[in-house]
Amino acid sequence: MSGKAFLALLGIIALSVFLRFWDLGSTPPGLYPDEAMNGNDASEALANKQFEVFYRDNNGREGLFINIQALSISIFGNKPWALRGVSGIFGVFTVLGIFLLSREMFRSRQNRDRLALLAAFFLATSFWHINFSRIGFRAIMAPFFLVWGLYFFFRFYKDIGSAPSQIISAAAGGLLFGLGFHSYIAYRAAPLLLLPLIISGWNKPRRDTCFPCLALIFILFAAIAFIPLGLFFFDHPADFFGRTSQISVFSEPLPLKAFVINAAKTIGMFWIYGDPNWRHNFSGAPELSIIVGIFFLIGVIIAKINIFKKSSDLTERFNSAFLIFWIALMLIPVMISSEGLPHALRSIIAIPPVMILSAFGLEKIIEYSKRWLKKNREKHPGHSHQLSRIGKEFGLLLAVMVIAIAANAYDTYFNRWARHPEVPAAFNTHDWNIAQYLNTLPDNVDKYIVIAGERLDGRIVTISSQSVLFGTDTFLPEARMRKNFHYLSPEDLDAEFQKKLPEQAVVVFLTKEDKNFASSLVKKYSRIRLAVPGDFIALIISPL
């Protein structure tokens, strides 16, 4: 790698760090219950010194991400950014990983560094990837593990380095690839991605090392990484399917029709209409910006031409087929689901090949432009000055485009999306504000959190209450008792007050502001008064 390429890579990494960590303490706002559930499981694991390979609450979640979040909580406390910072780290290292993978895949190309830098830049500035790098969901690990696992696979697939270094690559790649099964359910399709690599590598002549041996080492270490989770699923087979069976297209009356509609929605999300969920996307906006979307379309077209064009370079043809296969394979789990499509989160594992193909499309444009300029200089030497000026203007256009993409990434996320009035509700900011208010109250004051319309559970209370539980650090029963926190239904609250009104207490309403119920309590008990300490109402019970 040249010095300029290395400096460019450092700049891209710095940009990715900035876009993933800037203002992480307040953006996104609040804390979504699924994020908080992770944090509460992590807190419980820390307290009990028992870290699970799979946490069964909330439809079940692989435990690796939660256990890493537990380490962050142990250092930084119950803060949203302590959960989300883990995602940011995985996001940044995925940017580095896609550079290394792209560079390895296109090793035979003269301008492989430029293509790899473009892929890393597109990923670093992708709203799609930035957003999930700032939310405490385990899915952000899936592209990380797949990119790094494939990078090390390509290291020995391309027969690069000495035999010992290739053995290390096979072992490290297998371990990382296997850890991907601990990330997100959609990752389970990833082993199929290895088939074309193994088949083509097995038949590759003139190698200095034994490819079948290295492939077996890779598979062995992947299996070792998967074993703990595999043993859990062997003992709890129902958890293997989890939420998948609930949202499968096969539960629809006309599954084939549903699949075709889902496929159209999923493919259209790149250019036409994206995920409408404000938590996952700038609601309805395509997952790719206009510029990157154009490059992606060009990359897809050229890749398909390469696949069917017999005169194409064999490496170029294989890479084109592999990237198209990668995208298609990782979108199939999305297409067979029937909830909330298009769905940016479930499609997260397809982000890397989309960015590589986008870079491939732009790289082809640059190559074509350079060939056109060279050809015309030779054909029209008298116009070399004008052609040189055109070349400089094209370079300036590329520089402006790069700046515009980076500026647009910042503006879209931090100015347009983060300030949109729909975003706080998407992250349950109301509940987080309640938690912060309750934290200001002394431990000796009874605190009643009223949850309507949900079945109360003795351990986790309810899924919707997780943000308050995490924010107040009252997930564990001992903490609730020590801090005088009571999570109960409106009926239970009324029954408790009829028996005996506490000496000093505060009542807040989690599910919604039930003003009628609150007003009835104010009328019934003279010591209760209504207060509005924030974007919620509270009932204050004054001391005798």
Question: What are 21-66's pLDDT values in tens digits?
Answer: 999 999 999 999 999 999 999 999 999 999 999 999 988 999 999 9
How many other CB atoms sit within 10 Å of the CB of residue 186?
22
- Is residue 445 classed exposed, middle or buried when 0-12, 13-18 and 19+ CB atoms within 10 A define those classes? middle
Query: What is the Cα–Cα distance from 480 to 243, expressed in whole angstroms?
Result: 30
Residue 509's nearest CA partner among 484, 480, 488, 494 is 488
Q: pLDDT-based confidence at 375, cuts 50/70/90?
A: confident
Query: What is the Cα–Cα distance from 295 to 301, expressed in whole angstroms?
Result: 10
- Whether 245 has a pLDDT exceeding 90, the answer reads no
Q: What is the pLDDT of residue 33?
A: 97
Q: What is the pLDDT of residue 240?
A: 86
- Whether 394 has a pLDDT exceeding 80, the answer reads yes
**Residue spans per domain, the chain:** 429-541
Token pair of 109 as six digits: 């190309």
- Whether 250 has a pLDDT exceeding 90, the answer reads no
DSSP per residue, 130-191? HHHTTS--GGGHHHHHHHHHHHHHHHHHTT-S-HHHHHHHHHHHHHHHHHGGGT-GGGGGTH
Task: State pTM to two decimals.
Answer: 0.95
DSSP per residue, 47-76? HHT---SEE-STT-EEHHHHHHHHHHHHHH
- Write the Ramachandran bin of 252: left for phi over 0, alpha for psi from -120 to 50, otherwise beta: beta
Q: Look at residue 79 and give its three-state secondary structure.
A: coil
- Whether 361 has a pLDDT exceeding 80, the answer reads yes
Q: What is the pLDDT of residue 160?
A: 85
**Long-range contact set of residues 287-290: C-beta below 8 Å, sequence gap at least 24:** 287/127, 287/128, 287/342, 287/344, 287/347, 288/126, 288/128, 288/354, 288/358, 289/127, 289/405, 289/408, 289/409, 289/412
Token pair of 308 as six digits: 């069917």
Of the listed ranges 173-187, 217-231, 371-385, the one predicted with least confidence: 371-385
Residue 344's nearest CA partner among 293, 283, 414, 424 is 283
Residue length, the chain? 544
Averaged pLDDT, 6-32 = 98
For the stretch 92-120, pLDDT in tens is 999 999 999 999 999 888 889 999 999 99
Residues with Cβ within 8 Å of residue 455, at least 6 apart in sequence: 462
Residue 454's nearest CA partner among 537, 495, 512 is 512
Q: What is the pLDDT of residue 244?
A: 62
Q: Please give the share of the chain, as a percent, with pLDDT higher than 70.
A: 98
Q: What is the pLDDT of residue 256?
A: 86
Q: pLDDT-based confidence at 243, cuts 50/70/90?
A: low
Averaged pLDDT, 16-24 = 98
Q: What is the pLDDT of residue 512?
A: 67
Q: What is the pLDDT of residue 453?
A: 86
Token pair of 328 as six digits: 């298609």
- Whether 410 has a pLDDT exceeding 80, the answer reads yes
Token pair of 294 as six digits: 């154009």
- Whether 159 has a pLDDT exceeding 60, the answer reads yes
Residue tagged 């990837």 (tokens) = 129
Averaged pLDDT, 71-80 = 97
Residue tagged 């690069």 (tokens) = 160
Token pair of 425 as six digits: 């509700």
Which CA distances in Å does 415 have to 272, 405, 407? Answer: 22, 15, 11
Task: Note whether 2 and 110 are within 8 A (CB).
Answer: no
Q: pLDDT-based confidence at 513, cuts 50/70/90?
A: low
For the stretch 175-201, pLDDT in tens is 999 999 999 999 999 999 999 999 988
Residues forming beta bridges with residue 486, ordered by sequence position: 448
Q: What is the pLDDT of residue 246?
A: 61
Task: Note whether 530 and 518 are within 8 A (CB).
Answer: yes
Q: Look at residue 540 and give its three-state secondary structure.
A: strand
DSSP per residue, 396-435? HHHHHHHHHHHHHHHIIIIIIITTSTHHHHHTTHHHHHHH
- Whether 402 has a pLDDT exceeding 90, the answer reads yes
Q: pLDDT-based confidence at 388, cuts 50/70/90?
A: confident
Q: What is the mean pLDDT of the chain?
A: 93
Q: What is the pLDDT of residue 544?
A: 63
